[in-house]
Amino acid sequence: MKIKKLAAALLAGAMVLSMTACGSDGKSQSTGNDNGTNDVKTDSGKTDDAGTGADAASGGKLVVWTLADDLKQFAQRYTEQTGVEISVEVIAPADYSTKLTSALGAKSDEVDIIVGEPQMLGNFFEAGFFADLSALEADAKDQIVDYVYEAGKDEAGVLRALSYQVTPGAIIYRRDLAQTIFGTDDPDAMAEKFKDFDTILQTAEEVKAAGYRIFSDSGNLRWYANAGSAWVVDGVLQVSDAKLGYMDAAVKLYQDELVAFAPEWSAAWYASMGGPLPLNAGWSDLSELENAEMTEIFAYSLPSWGALIVRDNANDNKGKFGVCSGPCSYFGGGTFIGVNSYSKNQDLAADFVKFCTLNEETAQWWLETSNGDVVSNKAVLAANQDFENESFGNQKTYAFYLKEAENIDYSVVTKYDDAIGNFWGSSIEAIQKGEMTREEAIEDFYMQVEVTFPEITVNR
């Protein structure tokens, strides 16, 4: 792939914060960053010597480029245990892809450790930026949640990146409102209320009749965009019944005012986690709507890092939330670590990757230090599965997220998902606002896919 094309693709992908991976039937199969959900301090788990410097000479120096502050803490711990000096540069997400592409496109060896979010990895791998980590594959396959292991491989199946975290998604719901509306707050009962798009619409009607709104806005459904099948299979665009169901549900939620019209990341969205908000409150100054009709949000669909946002903005509602499954298991975001193909310190850099991702002691330390990040190490999650999270009604959230993560079907994820998902979202918005009919919006979607990806066959 030419560097200019790579840069353009990555800049487009960087604007999208979600990836989904749902089962082929649109339901969970035996189913950022600052991630996490738990207030937790636990005893250290099992330890091993993976990546603790046993294979690295004392001393030396590594340079890390990353998107978030997490790796500063990992680097400090690695230095304490090995004596290896590590310089960590945190680069703004908006600039990261461009800087990495410019440097590694010129085969620079100034950086040793590089990272990427899932939507970036395919392009980075194709460009040859990430070194072969096959030496870690046996341990990774055994220790790491499957979808993380799969996401770190290139199209030829070569392992090139690993993550210390998993970011499975969930429906985060208000337990107190569930009791009021449905007479139960049991997570399994709530999962039945969100099991598919038709059921979500029925639930939304019940929630509205009780004086509340099911979601902050219809965008909560976007996490399930891959329900039913991948967007592209064997080079052919797939517009499944499940995808059409997602479109129709999103339109109805919007047009029938079953949501609160408080978009994600708005002031109203954050405020809604802690109490009532005015309907149509996507304003910067909520005082302008102080006499408006009030409501409360019943649920949010977010990855595990979103649960941390809910927790930290819940105020008096802290402890009143629970988590349950939605129409399918999914994930969103996550930091994947690899080695610069042009680094002159590849063995030492690979040992750092091993330390961050394949060391149970490190995983237990990070689970505690991060105050709730959901680590990718299966043994450590299992060791903490009985932890009761007081911020989520004493639910065993680590056990829940481990199950969700293990049931993510990564086979439905493709390199086209971000762009095609954006096209589909734009078509949905056009229908919601009355700018296009359903048929016109779908035809416009087909046209955008054909123009952008001529290699994809579009069957109308």
Q: Which amino acid does the sequence have at 133?
A: L
Tens digits of residue pLDDT in 405-416: 999 999 899 889
Q: Report the C-alpha gap between 154 and 335 in whole angstroms.
A: 16
Tens digits of residue pLDDT in 363-377: 999 999 998 899 999
Residue 178 pLDDT > 80, yes or no? yes
Band of the pLDDT at 287, cuts 50, 70, 90? low
Mean per-residue pLDDT, 339-362: 98
- Per-residue pLDDT at 259: 97
Q: What is the CA radius of gyration of the chain?
A: 22
Query: Which range among 82-86, 324-328, 367-371 shows the weakest confidence by mean pLDDT?
Result: 367-371
- Per-residue pLDDT at 119: 87
Tens digits of residue pLDDT in 141-169: 999 999 999 999 999 999 999 999 999 99
DSSP string for 76-136: HHHHHHH--EEEEEE--HHHHHHHHHHHHHTT--S-SEEEE-HHHHHHHHHHT-BPP-GGG
Q: Report the C-alpha gap between 205 and 418 in whole angstroms.
A: 30
**Which is more confidently placed, 34 or 65?**
65
Tens digits of residue pLDDT in 404-446: 999 999 989 988 998 999 999 999 999 999 999 999 999 999 9
Query: Which range among 14-18, 82-86, 373-377, 403-407 shows the weakest confidence by mean pLDDT?
Result: 14-18
- Per-residue pLDDT at 372: 85
Residue 21 pLDDT > 70, yes or no? no
Residue 142 buriedness (CB in 10 A; 0-12 / 13-18 / 19+): exposed
Query: Which range among 248-257, 261-270, 287-296 shows the weakest confidence by mean pLDDT?
Result: 287-296
Residue 13 pLDDT > 90, yes or no? no
Per cent of the chain over pLDDT 70 is 84
Nearest 5°: phi and psi at 160?
-135, -10
Place of tokens 């004392």: 58
**Which is more confidently placed, 44 or 63?**
63
**Which is more confidently placed, 34 or 83?**
83
- Per-residue pLDDT at 59: 58
Residue 34 pLDDT > 50, yes or no? no
The kind and range of the H/E element at 322 are: strand 321-324
- Per-residue pLDDT at 415: 86
- Per-residue pLDDT at 18: 44
Residue 346 pLDDT > 60, yes or no? yes
- Per-residue pLDDT at 66: 98
CA end-to-end distance (rounded Å), the chain: 29
Query: Domains (ranges, CATH) in the chain?
Result: 3-167+332-412 (3.40.190.10), 170-216+260-328 (no CATH), 222-249+416-460 (no CATH)
Q: Report the C-alpha gap between 23 and 27 in whole angstroms.
A: 6
Tens digits of residue pLDDT in 96-118: 999 999 999 999 999 999 999 99
- Per-residue pLDDT at 7: 39
Residue 332 pLDDT > 90, yes or no? yes
- Per-residue pLDDT at 23: 53
Band of the pLDDT at 41, cuts 50, 70, 90? very low
- Per-residue pLDDT at 35: 38
Q: Report the C-alpha gap between 431 and 433 in whole angstroms.
A: 5
Nearest to 182 by CA among 202, 205, 207: 207
| Residue 138 DSSP code | H
Please indicate, yes or no, whether the overall pTM of this predicted structure exceeds 0.95. Answer: no
Average pLDDT, the chain: 88
Contact 158, 132 (CB under 8 A): yes
Query: Which range among 11-15, 218-222, 389-393 shows the weakest confidence by mean pLDDT?
Result: 11-15
Contact 114, 65 (CB under 8 A): yes
Contact 404, 168 (CB under 8 A): yes
